[in-house]
Structure 1
Amino acid sequence: MRIDPARAQALISQLSSVKDRIAAAAQGRNVRLVAVSKLKPANDILALHQTPASHSHFGENYAQELSQKADLLPRTIHWHFIGGLQSGHCKNLAKIPNLFCVSSVDSLKKAQLLNSARTSIPDLPKLNIHVQVNTSGEEAKSGCSPGADTVSLCREIAQNLPGLNLLGLMTIGAIARSQATTAENENEDFEALREQRDLVAKELGLSPESLELSMGMSEDFEGAIAQGSSEVRVGSTIFGQRPAKSDAKIKE
C-alpha cells in the first residue's frame, strides 16, 4: 500500500501533538487515545500504525468501512467501533478478530447479538464493551437512560454474556457543553457519566477504577481527561477535515 511521505510526516506530527496534550492533561495517568479514522483511507491509518509512530488504536463509525479496512490492514491494529450500533451489524462486527471494543452498546438485544457471534468462533478473546449512556437526555442521541437502565444493561453484560467484557461507560454529550468545556470549566455530561460509573460499580460490587470512562473528543478531550476520562476519541485534529461520505475512499 502506497504511503505518501509528506502526508505521513504531517499525520505523525499531528498525532504526536495530540499525545503531548493528553500527557500534559493526564498528569501521569494512562489515557488511551483512539485515533478516529472514519472516512479516511487505509493508507493514512497504516502511516500511523507502522514505525515510527506505531499507534495501535483506531476508531471507525461505519460497520462496513471498519470491516473493509480490517481486511486490508495488519491484525496488530486494535479497532474500536464508535458509531451508532445497529442490530444488523452486530454479527459481522463481533467476528472481526482484532476488534478491540464496541463503544456504543445501548440495548440488551445488541449485546446479546454481539455475544452470540463472538462465542461462535473458537479462541477469540472476549470483546470489550462500553455501554453508551445518554447523559444529555437528547432525543436524537443514542444511549441508555441514566440510572436503572444503565445498571441493568451493565449487569447483564458483566454477569450473563461470557463473550463480552464490560470495559466501562461511554458518552458523547451535548455539543454546546462540549464546546464550552475547558480544563477549568467542567462538562455536565462528563460529571454525569462519572456518577453513572460509580453507581454501576456500587450495584455490581466492583471498584470504580475497574470501569473505564470513555469521553472526550477533538474539541474537549483535555477537559474530559481532567474529569477522569480513561479514553479519548480524536479524529479531525489528527487526520484533518473529513471528505463527504460519498467521496471517501477505502484505499488511495
Structure 2
Amino acid sequence: MTNSAEEAPTSTTPSTSDMKTPIPLSSHRATTLLQNLSHIQSRITSTSSSLPSPASTRPVRLVAVSKLKPASDILSLHSPPANLDISASESSSHDHFGENYVQELLEKSRLLPRTTKWHFIGGLQSNKCAQLARDVDSLWAVESVDSEKKANLLNKGRGERNERLRKELGDEFERNGWEDKLRVFIQVNTSGEESKSGLEPESVELVSLAKLIRSDESCPNLHLQGLMTIGAIARSKATTVETENEDFITLRSARDKIAEKLEIENKEELELSMGMSEDFESAIRLGSSEVRVGSTIFGERPAKKDAKVLEDTETDKK
C-alpha cells in the first residue's frame, strides 16, 4: 500500500483529532473514497425513499467496512482534507467504520480521532472480549455476539473503560457525550452454514442471550441494539429487486419473535444489521436499519499479510 508519485501525500491533522501521530493523506485517494461513499449513500437514500411510509423515513446507518485498509483511508472519510475538487455533499464527514480483527482495530483506534465510531463486526473470541471493550475508547457497537460468556466479558470490559475514562476526563466524560453503554448486536446464523458463526434463529439460546443483555442487573454496561446476520454468499449474489433474500426474511422474523418474547412494544426498537456490497438495497427493502459496505467504497482489499495500518510514504523510503 504505497502512494504513487502523482498521489503525493500531504500531512493533514484535523482540528477535531487528538491523534498523536499525524497521518499523511493523498488528495487523489481522498477524492475517490469520498465520491464512492457519496454514491453508496445516494443509493441508500433512493432505496429508502421508494419504500411505503413510514419506512421511507426510517434512517439507515452506513457502516464503511475498513478492515485491512490503512488509517489514512478512514481519516479521509472521517475528516476530509480541505479544498478537494468535489461537491459539498461529497465532502461531508463519515463517522461509522467496521473492523474485523481486534488487533487491527486497537491499532487504528489509537491513531485516529476519538470521534470515530467503531463497529466490531468480525468473529470474536472470548479471550479478546474484555480487551476490545476496555481499550477501544470509541467502540460504538459489537455486532458479532453469540454467547452469554462473550456478553458478560464485554460488559466487564466496558465497565472498566467507563471507570478509566471518568478518571481521565472528569466532567468532560458527561459533557462530551461519552456513552456508558456499549451497543450489542446478537449474531444470528440465518443460512444454517457450519462455516458461519451465530445462534440459530429459533433457538432458546437466542432468547436467553437477548434477555441477559437487556438486563440492567446482569449487563448494566450493555445495550441490546438488535440482531445481525452474514447470510449465504450465493443468496447475496442471486438477490434482485424481484428476488428477496431468504436470510434477510429469517432475521426479520427472528427479530419480531424476540421483541414479542421480551415484550418490546415497538419491534423496530431492535435494529436489523444486514446487507453488504452485493445486496444492501434488498436488505433495506426488507427492513434493515444498518448496512455494512466495504469493497464498493474502498476497493479491493490486500491479503491480510500485506495490509498496513500506516502506509509507507516517500519520506519513509528515504
Please give the TM-score of this superposition, normalised by the length of structure 1. 0.98
187-196 or 44-53, which deviates more: 44-53
Matches within 5 A, 1:1-252: 1-27=23-49, 28-51=57-80, 52-95=91-134, 96-120=136-160, 121-122=162-163, 123=166, 125-147=180-202, 148-159=204-215, 160-206=218-264, 207-252=266-311
1:81, distance to aligned residue in structure 2 (A): 0.2
Q: Quick one: which amino acid aligns to residue 208 of structure 2?
A: S
Q: CA–CA distance in 2 between the matches of 1:98 and 1:108?
A: 23
Say which SS state the counterpart of residue 288 (structure 2) adopts: coil
1:33, distance to aligned residue in structure 2 (A): 0.1
CA deviation map 1:38-77 (0-9, x unaligned): 0000000000001433000000000000010000000000
1:150, distance to aligned residue in structure 2 (A): 1.1
Say which SS state the counterpart of residue 2 (structure 1) adopts: strand
Q: CA–CA distance in 1 between the matches of 2:284 and 2:239?
A: 11
Any conservation in 2 of the 1:158–1:164 contact (CA below 8 Å)?
A: yes
Q: Quick one: which amino acid aligns to residue 141 of structure 1?
A: K
174-183 or 99-108, which deviates more: 174-183
CA deviation map 1:200-240 (0-9, x unaligned): 00000112110000000000000000000000000000000
1:113, distance to aligned residue in structure 2 (A): 0.4
Q: CA–CA distance in 2 between the matches of 1:157 and 1:29?
A: 25
Q: Which runs of 4+ in 1 moved over 4 A?
A: none
Please give the TM-score of this superposition, normalised by the length of structure 2. 0.78
Corresponding pairs, count: 252
Say which SS state the counterpart of residue 218 (structure 1) adopts: coil
**Gaps in structure 1 of 5+ consecutive residues:** none
Q: CA–CA distance in 1 between the matches of 2:144 and 2:128?
A: 12
Q: CA–CA distance in 1 between the matches of 2:242 and 2:207?
A: 30
Any conservation in 2 of the 1:182–1:222 contact (CA below 8 Å)?
A: no
123-132 or 226-235, which deviates more: 123-132
**Gaps in structure 2 of 5+ consecutive residues:** 1-22, 50-56, 81-90, 167-178, 312-318
Say which SS state the counterpart of residue 71 (structure 1) adopts: helix
CA deviation map 1:11-44 (0-9, x unaligned): 0000000000011111132000000000000000
Greater Cα radius of gyration, structure 1 or 2 = 2
Q: CA–CA distance in 1 between the matches of 2:109 and 2:214?
A: 27
Q: Aligned residues: percent identity?
A: 60
What value does the CA root-mean-square deviation take over the aligned residues? 1.0
Any conservation in 2 of the 1:82–1:104 contact (CA below 8 Å)?
A: yes
